[in-house]
A and B are shown apart, each in its own frame.
Chain A
């Protein structure tokens, strides 16, 4: 390989500041999208298991529609497809006030909400049906049974797959660069533009994603231990 490495491009000039801005934007968009995804995921995941057919159908439609269209298409949909539905003055206002960020956030959140929904549904279906029946026999309504018994147990069961899904969300936030969101990958490309040192810039991006993901995995592992119900789930290590 014929290439002169110059790692100092990563901390000389403005590169350090750009990487930091990129990391902040990545964390902001991912955190907001994650909250949206978890809320939509819990709602539609629970609705897919309730005993009313029309509600199940609606939740199934949401999941299949949003998870089976590529994320890139959703980015374009929220950025190019939705604004023309709004009045001209509103469009101008949002275009001047970070339309890119919010379109990217919705695309990520709604897409991952559909995927999160499947994780939560599998958690709920892993709980023996008798739990639900026992709750109802105790006099709880269906809503109360879900809120007080089924969902809290399901959320504890699904921490490992939900962690994977959250890491995917963080990494997928890079797709938002297609609609001009200046997140981490965008900034590594910018460093490449200024310095023509592509390999150094992309290596920096890779390492930062790795560190962020490992940190999130560590936090989720703590959460799992902290909230475990003693005796409910057998686990090793």
Chain B
């Protein structure tokens, strides 16, 4: 009996090592063979990536891949390719890249130093920061008002980490997804919901009565979004970056931005001059 247990334990522990620790990843080669670029993206993060009313899987991040990255990859592999989409979550996205299930994460992933130890990031394609969603007229106006208050956050997000470390007086409640956190806010289980400002703006726009809710507070964190890929694949990273860079230079990026965040877009969220400067600085402008 004891020996069997040891064998079982050993098997479980050995699983992660079972696949041969690989040579340098070559994503372009993989795409050339399969004819498809597989991206990991979200289904419920409007307007970045979500399933809309017509049951189409769309969004700003997906558009960037389709219109900026795809042509560049096609140029690099010398043939036309398809985009395939798989769902990724904060918990699953790095493992999905690691086991080759997807080639590129294009959703709402913040580029952080810890994550850079496991994956490579493209140029930043969106810049936001953490704020709070509250019922209109709430006494919470920003991060300095949250002591003793019940604050919802999303599990696995960088905001939850900052609240826990820098504002331990707040009672943090962490939910796995937006709908549960918003339900908790609507019913009073929590008094505010913190997430990246743009996500809160998206949630407010989609709420049954958008006028009942307010996004408040200055950014208390910096959240540059990047597309993630397997670490050490310089050729693929250069291709993805070239696509985005070309988009910034030609203005195509800002057309796509206007479509989703402009006055007629899903979530009106104009770029501030600082954000625009931040994005353009990456390409040396």
Contact = CB atoms under 8 A, between A and B. Distances in A.
B81 interface: no
Interface residues of B, number: 50
For B13, B157, B180, which residue has the most chain A Cβ atoms within 10 angstroms? B180
Interface in A71-85: 76, 79-80, 83-84
B114 A177 contact: no
Contacts, number: 104
Nearest to A200: B16
Contact of A195 (B9, B16, B114, B232): B114
The majority secondary structure among interface residues of chain A is: helix
A99 B189 contact: yes
B189 A178 contact: no
B168 interface: no
Contacts of B78: none
Contact of A199 (B95, B100, B232): B95
A189 interface: yes
A179 to B, nearest CB: 7
Given A80-B187, A198-B91, A3 B156 contact: no
Contacts of A92: 188
Contacts of A180: 152, 173-175, 184
A79 B184 CA distance: 9
A11 interface: no
A148 interface: no
A196 B22 contact: no
Contacts of A84: 187
A106 B174 CA distance: 19
A193 B12 contact: no
B176 A1 contact: no
A180 B87 CA distance: 23
Interface string A85-100: 0000001100110011
Interface of B: 5, 8-9, 12-13, 15-17, 19-22, 25, 90-92, 94-95, 98-100, 112, 114-115, 117-119, 150, 152, 155-158, 160-161, 171, 173-176, 180, 183-184, 187-190, 230-232
**For the complex of A and B, 9 pairs with smallest distance between CB atoms:** A1-B19, A3-B98, A180-B173, A196-B115, A196-B118, A2-B25, A2-B22, A193-B156, A196-B114
Given A2-B232, A83-B187, A180-B184, 6 more contacts: A1-B19, A5-B17, A180-B174, A193-B160, A198-B91, A200-B16
